[in-house]
Amino acid sequence: MSVTHVCHSWRTLALSIPSVWSRVEFFSDVHASYCTCDACEARDDESYYRTASRTTRPAPTNLRAIPDVLSRGLQTPITLDVTSLDSQADGEMIMITFGKLLVTHKSRLTTIRISLAQELGLCDFFETFDSLPALRSLKLTYTGDEDEVSGPVSVLNEHISMPCLSRLELGPFIKFPRRDHLHLPALTHLTASFSSAPELREILDACPTLQHLEVIPFANATNLDVSTEALQEVAPLVKRLREIRLLNIRRDTLAPSLDIFAHPVVADLQINCAEMDADLLSRALEILAHVSAPVQFGFSTSGNLLVLTTANDAGHRRVLGMTIGSVDKILQRIWAVVPPPSLWFFCTTWTLWLRVCGDIGRATQLQHIVIVLPHGNAQPLPAPDVPGAHFPKLMTLALHSAPHPTDKARVPLSWIRGVVRSLALGKPLERLYLVNVQFTLDKDDALSDDERFDLSFAQSIKDMTGMPGFGGFLGP
């Protein structure tokens, strides 16, 4: 709305372009009772209302401006963003009133994103619509106090038709509607929670075209209620999915999560374990073996988080993220599931390469290696000796560094030469790729110019920085 207040010319131009008004942003009591921002701290002082001007006071809602925005957009599709941090009962009436303003424009609504700090008014808002015929994306998030929520927040109590909805994202505490309240014939992407296999079956039954499922746990859930009969009923529905992502899976829900989702026929399965039980480690690692050889393997860490990725050219991928105490203690368990001789492509960090190069030296089918170097200009440790290394089919080595704000990572040419020679190829490397990496010449005065510029260790050296589609297999 502020664009219309700049000057007469700007106002005339803005009012003549309906697409300017295609995004509707509605807020209600943005500065709620528990907010700690500077404006709210000032508002708590009674003198604030006697001294502050109207333009500096936090507005409780922009409801009055909504009709003008809707009418100025004419028939352009609407993207709707709703933010309500009101934890009081009057928030329910505001949401109902807002819904009634939108009813006559329901055929224009294509994207709705709602973030609420209270559950009052959410069902009432949707009950003002019998259908949302053009809606393609819906995201609902609860941002209130977790302690005030006794269970999942209901979204719909009456049936509503959404025939074009293709993406639905329900945050923690938001319960997936009952099947008789919502049928989603076009839904392909879903983010939701569930607490039992039968509940998951009802969700998948309501979404016959679903391909991508992202599961987030209910914050107050302690386990997943599964039974053998329920698993048998839900298995065919899970197997038809192409991509499954399980986020922040806790120790007590890992086993039932694997029971429900760990099917080899699923093309893409990603599991992020917030906690890892040592007794379940081997079972969790087994999902990596779902990918048939030749295997592309990603092996990286971030703090105490280990991320393992297997993939192949047939489009199958498995990603397992888990918190661990020591990588060295589980290396042999990893190689038992992903044998080095089955690897075709290997990507890891330089720190991890120093730990695993002896094992990877037996990867006789390995053709491509990507090594991620330290950030900035930190000097990596010298290349190790790899006794018994044998890479008869290795063609490509890529040295990759994260983009630097001012410069590429700089490493000595002698260090790069040592890395290639440590692979014991017995011949020059076919291709060396440098991504955000630049080599520097050796400063040893005892070396001749020929020795300083010696590039005979590789047939081809290419700078691939900024090349589209290149960057290696860096995991999720």
| Residue 112 burial (CB count, 10 A) | 22
pLDDT in tens, 438-461: 888 766 655 566 666 778 889 998
CB 247 within 8 A of CB 174: no
As given in the structure block, the two tokens for residue 266 are 């699923």
Residues 394, 419: contact at Cβ < 8 Å? no
On whether the CB atoms of residues 461 and 434 are closer than 8 A, the answer is yes
Torsions phi, psi for 23 (to 5 deg): -105, 120
SS3 434: strand
State whether residue 432 is helix, strand or coil. Answer: strand
Query: Confidence band (pLDDT; 50, 70, 90) for 390?
Result: confident
Residue tagged 């002082």 (tokens):
45
The tens digit of pLDDT for each residue in 85-142 reads: 655 555 677 778 888 889 999 999 999 998 877 666 778 888 889 899 999 999 998 8
SS3 129: coil
Question: Is 38 a residue whose pLDDT tops 60?
Answer: no
Kindly give the pairing relationship between strand 305-311 and strand 368-372. unpaired
pLDDT value of residue 242: 97
Query: Three-class SS of residue 98?
Result: helix
pTM: 0.83
pLDDT-derived band of residue 41, with 50, 70 and 90 as boundaries? very low
Token output for 217: 């746990």
d(CA 24, CA 279): 51
Angle formed by the axes of helices 228-239 and 251-261, nearest 10°: 60
Summarised one tens digit per residue, pLDDT across range 308-358 is: 999 999 999 999 999 877 788 889 899 999 999 899 999 999 889 988 888
Residue 395, pLDDT score? 93
Region of 355 please: left (phi>0), alpha (psi -120 to 50) or beta. alpha
SS3 314: coil
Cα(52)–Cα(360) distance, integer angstroms = 68
In 214-250, alpha helices (H): 228-239
pLDDT digits (tens, 9 = 90+) for 256-308: 899 999 999 999 999 998 778 778 899 999 999 999 989 999 998 877 889 99
